[in-house]
Structure 1
Amino acid sequence: MKQKVQEAYRLLHPRPVVLICAGEKPNVMACSWITPVSDEPFMVAVAIWKENYTFELIEEKKEFTVNVPQPELLDAVWIAGTKSGRKVDKIRTCNLRVRKANKVDAYVIENCIANLECVVREKVFAGEHAVYIAEVVDAYAEGFEKTWKTKILLHLGGKDFVTFGESFRPKTD
């Protein structure tokens, strides 16, 4: 028999976890509330809590980057998701290598296997979060074999993370 669930949003986990960078000074936050919303143009939606420092930084420039970490960056992901950039230089604390993005006024994390540069096109408030719908104006990754066959981090909730164990394909055409 099914039971009532307190944190119903967790029923939609695991979710890929990414590192969001925004601001003139490098800052990073972990985020798993992100999803593609359009192919042409390529757009993503990302939900950022209105109390987060990253919310303030995105509001200033309306630009940010999405950086896809591999499991080796789990400790950095945890710090990026639990510490505030108002108080901690998370880039230095996490030993992340950053550089200015190609097309937006933000930084990309070179340690990550993929990077997307985003420009906000729309913002919607949903409860305590701002949902930014952003166009991806540049994207790059290490080759297919390295990037998409790497076990990316998935967030279950709290301190729990997993990776993909194996890939599957349908048996029918």
Structure 2
Amino acid sequence: MKAEIDLNESYRLLHPRPVVLICSVGSEGRVNVMACSWITPISDEPPLIAISLWLKGYTHKLIDEIGEFTVNIPSVNLLKQVWIAGTKSGGKIDKVKLLNLTFTQAKAVKPPVIESSIGVLECRVKNKIIINEQALYIAEVVKAYAEEELFRNKVWSMEANVLHHAGGRIFTTIKYIKA
């Protein structure tokens, strides 16, 4: 028998989802990192993704200023940093200092990339749609790269341990099943 799910929690039926670290930078140069699992590809020609961000969030403010961001794909090794980035507000504290991560210059956009991430998408905003309290950013991927020993034959290897968020403090990694 199926139980009714509170409609305000119905999105959780779509979890676990990959969790990424979004890096943004403001016009004054301050970098912020945010954990995000509300992300999806929407086109491959041209390569477009969509991310949904809270309108009152600091990341939203910075992306609006510059129009660019990086998507950093973490492995399970960055679980602590993902948790901090997802539970603290960059508008209130400097998360970069708290996260103890090393950043490097992106190849095509202003926001930096996280050196220890296993994959990166560098993105430029093409459109923004306001939906209730959320901003849905449509962004073009202008550069993409991954650790070659972990991303083979167009898929992540099991050794990549790509992090997925199930809800709350619960995370998981993937297990492949062939059809």
Q: TM-score, normalised by structure 1?
A: 0.93
The equivalent residue for 1:137 is: 142
Size of the aligned set, in residue pairs, is 168
The equivalent residue for 1:154 is: 164
The equivalent residue for 1:85 is: 90
- Report how far residue 87 of structure 1 moved: 2.2
The equivalent residue for 2:2 is: 2
Describe the superposition over 1:26-82 as per-residue Cα deviations: whole angstroms up to 9, x where unpaired: 210000000000001111000001111000000101110000000010010000001
Describe the superposition over 1:120-173 as per-residue Cα deviations: whole angstroms up to 9, x where unpaired: 001111221100000000111110x42411111110111111111x21222xxx
- What amino acid is the match of 2:53? I
Contact 2:121–2:143 (CA<8 Å) still a contact in 1?
A: yes
- Report how far residue 88 of structure 1 moved: 2.0
Structure 1 gaps of 5+ residues are none
**Which runs of structure 2 are paired with 1:15-54 in the superposition (5 Å)?**
15-23=17-25, 24-54=29-59
Distance 1:169 1:160 in 2: 25
SS in structure 2 at match of 1:78: helix
RMSD between superposed Cα atoms in Å: 1.0
SS in structure 1 at match of 2:69: strand
Structure 1 residue 67 and structure 2 residue 72: aligned?
yes
Structure 2 gaps of 5+ residues are none
**Which runs of structure 2 are paired with 1:87-106 in the superposition (5 Å)?**
87-106=92-111
Contact 2:70–2:120 (CA<8 Å) still a contact in 1?
A: yes
Contact 1:33–1:47 (CA<8 Å) still a contact in 2?
A: yes
Contact 1:115–1:140 (CA<8 Å) still a contact in 2?
A: yes
- Report how far residue 92 of structure 1 moved: 2.1
Distance 2:115 2:96 in 1: 11
Contact 2:57–2:91 (CA<8 Å) still a contact in 1?
A: no
- What amino acid is the match of 1:161? F
Taking only the aligned residue pairs, the percentage that are identical comes to: 54
Q: TM-score, normalised by structure 2?
A: 0.90
Distance 1:61 1:93 in 2: 23
